[in-house]
Amino acid sequence: SPNHGHMLIAGNEDGSITVVNDVTNSSSVQKSKANFAIQDVQLGLSQPNVFIAAGSDGNMGVFDIRDRIQPQISWNASPASKADINAVAWNPVESSAHLLCTGDDAGVLKIWDLRGVSSDASSAVIKEISGYHRSPINSIQWCPSNESVCMVCSDTEASVYDFLIERDF
């Protein structure tokens, strides 16, 4: 990651998580295991020790590498459908670093306000778009200079969304 120097994080289908704090120093490796298969990970842009992992059956977790790589927050992003979360992206604009975008196997796109995530995670969803993507969402990228614009891709579509038009953050 350009914001994290030499740090790398990888997640695996078996739930294993590997954090390499410094790729130039092989002794700086931490390992842990999530209780779900991991589809995507992303380092926090404003907090260098925090990352999010998204995965199977809608499971999500925010981890802090300073705390033995344990989830600080965990929830299910798609409890009804149990769809795998394939893509996750933090909002890169610092004033909106609490916003997260996820895409799942059912083609559903959600914008989350992490300040509202609790046991009832549905209350943290501030925007949901379903029925447009006819195949699983596999990539999400926020515009680096606009907190409300992101690009979402599946195998058959690429879409640009401006959420400010739909709902003010």
Residue 21, domain member (yes or no): yes
What is residue 34's predicted lDDT score, i.e. its pLDDT? 85
C-beta pairs of 30-35 under 8 Å, 24+ apart in sequence:
30/65, 30/68, 30/69, 31/69, 32/63, 32/68, 32/69, 32/70, 34/59, 34/61, 34/71, 35/59
Residue 140, domain member (yes or no): yes
Strands 137-142 and 125-129 come out as unpaired
Q: By residue range, what is the domain housing residue 32?
A: 8-166
Residue 55, domain member (yes or no): yes
Secondary structure class of 94 (helix, strand, coil): helix
Residue 19, domain member (yes or no): yes
Q: What is the CATH number for 155?
A: 2.130.10.10
What is residue 169's predicted lDDT score, i.e. its pLDDT? 39
- Res. 4 pLDDT band, cuts 50 70 90: low
When mean pLDDT is compared across 20-34, 48-62, 86-100, 137-151, the lowest value belongs to 20-34
Residue 1, domain member (yes or no): no
What is residue 18's predicted lDDT score, i.e. its pLDDT? 87
When mean pLDDT is compared across 7-11, 31-35, 51-55, 64-68, the lowest value belongs to 64-68
Alpha-carbon separation of residue 34 from 4, 103, 169 (angstroms): 22, 20, 31
What is residue 3's predicted lDDT score, i.e. its pLDDT? 58
The larger pLDDT score, comparing residue 67 to residue 47, is at 47
Amino acid, res. 85: I
Output the average pLDDT for the chain. Answer: 85
What is residue 168's predicted lDDT score, i.e. its pLDDT? 38
Residue 7 to residue 1: CA distance in whole angstroms: 7
Residue 2, domain member (yes or no): no
Residue 122, domain member (yes or no): yes
Secondary structure class of 58 (helix, strand, coil): helix
Q: What is the pLDDT of residues 82-136, one digit of tens each?
A: 889 999 999 998 889 889 999 999 999 999 998 887 766 777 888 898 888 889 9
Is residue 166 predicted with pLDDT exceeding 70? no
Q: How many domains does the chain contain in total? A: 1
Q: Determine contact, residues 28/20, Cβ cutoff 8 Å.
A: yes
Amino acid, res. 16: S
Residue 123, domain member (yes or no): yes
Tokens representing residue 78 in the block: 């798609």
Mean pLDDT within 23-39: 81
